[in-house]
Amino acid sequence: MAKYGGPIAITNNKEFFNIIKRQDNSLQDNICFYNATGSLMLKHMFKYEEKLVGFDFLENEALFAILESGKYYLIDPFKGIQKTHTLHKRFKRDLIREAKVFENGFAFYT
């Protein structure tokens, strides 16, 4: 959930089994953004093959999502604009285990 009552983001966690199988799985390969009243604001296509190790909003309400290889995304929940960045290639060997957001930055450990 974003700070100060902003949007809420959810995605499918591929590390766990889906107990209930539905034909209409809106979270399959998507990030869904909802406003504070629970209405769907945006469904953003988001496919990832690696483990998602960090998923939280920055202070500026951009969604931060980072994969274990150091590839991370900044997604604007209002416009659906996605920016992709990659940390140093070292993290393809020493995978990131967990990442946390702090204001408009983040920290992680391998």
pLDDT per position as a tens digit, 21-67: 545 566 677 888 998 888 999 998 888 888 899 999 999 889 999 99
Give the range among 13-17, 35-39, 48-52, 84-88 with minimum mean pLDDT. Answer: 13-17
pLDDT of residue 48: 81
Whole-number Å distance between alpha carbons of 62 and 40:
17
DSSP 27-61: TTTEEEEE-TTS-EEEEEE---SS-EEEEEE-TTS
- pLDDT level of residue 88 (50, 70, 90 thresholds): confident
Give which of 66, 77, 72 is closest to 6, Cα–Cα: 77
pLDDT of residue 17: 46
**CB of 61 within 8 A of CB of 77?**
yes
**CB of 64 within 8 A of CB of 3?**
no
Residues of the chain above pLDDT 70, percent: 83
Whole-number Å distance between alpha carbons of 48 and 67:
8
Q: CB neighbours of 5 closer than 8 A, spacing ≥ 6?
A: 36
pLDDT of residue 110: 85
pLDDT of residue 19: 47
Domain covering 3-18+25-109, topology: Lipocalin (2.40.128)
